[in-house]
A and B are shown apart, each in its own frame.
Chain A
Amino acid sequence: MSQCPTQLRYTETHEWVREDEKDVVIVGITDHAQSQLGELVFVELPEVGTVVEVGDEVGVIESVKTASDIYSPVSGKIIEINENLTEQPDLMNSEPYESGWIFRVRLSNSEELEELLDAETYAQNVREDD
């Protein structure tokens, strides 16, 4: 059973969002997502400074058997990316909610956070998928 920490928010496309500081969030992929993808071997990270809207494709993660897009759960500007993933994409497998984070966004509209799923709803969606 995959983990869904209760303090995070989630998307239908299996990203998680954590409020880091005022109007800044961290984004990664969920435990469920990484377990479905399998061993991750490559990540194409977004560029710092990119302005994104909700649902924009910002990167690609690739496992030994498939590849999947990363979508931005929020609107704003990407202010930091997790460069460690370039050398160690498997951090997204081993610690999806900690060292496996992908990028930080300065929000342009913090109200969008309200639209995201809470842990319970996301967990239920995942159960229904299985």
Chain B
Amino acid sequence: MAFIPHTEADIDAMLKEMDITAVDTLFDEIPSTIPKAVYNHVCHSAPELAVTQLMKQRAEQQPSLNSYLGAGAYHHFIPACVWELTSRGEFLTSYTPYQAEASQGTLQLIYEYQTMMASLMGMEISNASLYDGATALAEAVLMVVRIKKSKQKTILVPKTINPFYREVLQTVIAHQEITIKEFELELKAENFSDVAALIIPQPDFLGRLNDVDALTNWAHAHQILVIALVNPMAMALLKEPGAWGDTGADIVCGEGQPFGIPVSSGGPYFGFMCCRKEHVRQLPGRLVGKTEDRDGKMGFTLTLQAREQHIRRAKANSNICTNQGLMVTAATIYMSVMGATGLKRIAEHSHHLARQLFHTLSTVEGIEPIFKTPFFHEFVIRVPNSQEFLRAMAKRGIQAGFDLMPYYPELTNGILVCVTELKTREDLKYYCEQARLCLQENYKAETV
């Protein structure tokens, strides 16, 4: 079946109107220097059974490593009920709830999600989610520029936020006349009259905790808005952004994946975003509100839709109207089964295990902790030759951490190590023993 409805005659007429002879001409602006993907090694077709067998064989070639990778994606325990319920047809197949009378279940779920997120972040408003943490941050930046009526268009961005988020942010603002200014998280006396907002990560990409109260007060004293970029799991343990400093953060965003979404290569994840009520008309994305029907019965509906693309067209707050409905369903069920106490216990447990590994590794000859600052569940160590270390550890069944060298060359041979509640004390002991052996043998041992 042809999915493109245009006939040859249609296409010819359009080409003629544009005064070109070939459709390919439309793609001339794509530089020819970009390498083309070549798929010669992939066969044209194969039976399903053969593909399944091949994939199974390939999967078995990948050793299953005990992973200490974090760096923006966090492996937590997901109770079976989370995806069992999320996969129900009522959730799995439902579309955007434009039609309130036919979508009360979805609408109520999003409303509960918003309530939980706003409560966790100490903010008044939460939207129904965005694509992921990186796009949520980019949307937060666009939002502060709208709040500032474009009078200030510089954003202070610490180098210690997720480097992948920095790339997405750069892409989104490239044509918006917004300037990014790299910023060390220190209280400075310079003149910041052109600055719209400061991004404060908590914890930062390197796992460290910042003095969010002092930074928030400093920013607000300079009429700079505060965008809190946080790990939601850490917020179960740390001070919520709404209570930072004397006045609280203005916008909170981040990656929702730690709440019931499995780690996988590139997603789907979901971004969250909260703000104060005074800024709600500049908030992007869907919002669900609680209301009453004409008989006075409780009901839920999309609200403040005049901000959005389907009404406001080109002048909408954002042209990303999508929310990650299914991921949010899982996150809401996850938060419900864990409860506030459960989330706090997971966060505490992860923190304690991370500290334990940090302290033990500090005693290993050749391993040096780079920072002395408090951290949540991730920390940075320096080893002799990080790549060799990771390779040697992988041979011993351990994915020992995230190599920081490509992103932070100044942290020479730095490795970011993450520990969550999934690790046992035996796991940590094994990590330390194997690290000690690797270093003693100078990474020489071929196998264990």
Q: Which positions in A face B, CB cutoff 8 Å? A: 42, 44, 47, 62-63, 65-67, 69
Contact = CB atoms under 8 A, between A and B. Distances in A.
Contacts of B307: 67
B2 interface: no
Interface in B294-319: 306-307, 311-312, 315
- Which secondary structure characterizes the binding site on chain B? helix
The 6 A-B residue pairs with the shortest CB-CB distance, nearest first, are A67-B306, A62-B306, A67-B312, A66-B311, A66-B306, A67-B311
Given A63-B306, A67-B306, A42 B311 contact: no
Given A66-B306, A67-B312, 14 more contacts: A42-B281, A42-B306, A44-B281, A47-B149, A62-B281, A62-B306, A63-B306, A65-B306, A65-B311, A66-B311, A67-B306, A67-B307, A67-B311, A69-B315
A63 B312 CA distance: 12
Interface of B: 149, 281, 306-307, 311-312, 315
A59 to B, nearest CB: 11
Contacts, number: 16
12 contacts: A42-B306, A44-B281, A47-B149, A62-B306, A65-B311, A66-B306, A66-B311, A67-B306, A67-B307, A67-B311, A67-B312, A69-B315
A66 B310 CA distance: 10
Contacts of B149: 47
Contacts of A65: 306, 311
Contacts of B315: 69
A92 to B, nearest CB: 15
A63 B149 CA distance: 22
A72 B312 CA distance: 20
Contacts of A47: 149
Which of A42, A47, A62, A66 has its CB near the most chain B CB atoms (within 10 A)? A62
Which of A44, A67, A69 has its CB near the most chain B CB atoms (within 10 A)? A67
Nearest to B315: A69
A62 B311 CA distance: 11
Contacts of A42: 281, 306
Nearest to A69: B315
Contacts of A63: 306
Contacts of B311: 65-67
A63 B304 CA distance: 10
A66 B307 CA distance: 9
B200 to A, nearest CB: 28
A62 B312 CA distance: 10
B279 to A, nearest CB: 12
A66 B149 CA distance: 21
Contacts of A62: 281, 306
Nearest to B151: A47
A63 B306 CA distance: 8
Nearest to B307: A67
Contacts of B281: 42, 44, 62
A66 B308 CA distance: 10
A67 to B, nearest CB: 4
A53 B312 CA distance: 23
B142 to A, nearest CB: 17
A40 to B, nearest CB: 11
A65 to B, nearest CB: 8
Nearest to A47: B149
A86 B312 CA distance: 21
B314 to A, nearest CB: 11
